[in-house]
Structure 1
């Protein structure tokens, strides 16, 4: 986040930069803490509705895709991601 940036502004900006999508930010669905070099990262995840744009991978990703649950289950994921998304009822639909 940038100094004095709200969560909504940060989510909107980051999604545009990293995916090419414009969104309307909805409710907070959950949060996690992850180790960082100088402490911890606090990660807040929000429900969003895509309003425009074309999905593309940002400069820190090699690929991006919308996937169903069967495909999602075949992908490598970061430690704790599936458990968090499951607990927040945010896993892809079948």
Structure 2
């Protein structure tokens, strides 16, 4: 099933946001996020943490690109703001 790519500023299921995007890949003018990039979650005890898991596997700069529903260390998921721009995987 196709999944949208996560970019800087995309939202978490908790209302948090992707705070860093370390890829050199730019999608519609905004940098794509990778595994290990920083998110901030507003839920009590979650705070600043990282994107830790995603599918499918697709690399940029030797790191895995984050896709819609990527999981953060706090357990929340990241939602792609580009549901029609995706990599089939």
Pair in the same fold by TM > 0.5:
no
**What TM-score bracket applies, with the shorter chain setting the length?**
under 0.3
Higher strand share: 2
Structure showing greater relative contact order (alpha-carbon pairs closer than 8 Å, 6 or more residues apart): 2
Higher helix share: 1
TM-score (norm 1): 0.25
Greater radius of gyration (CA): 1
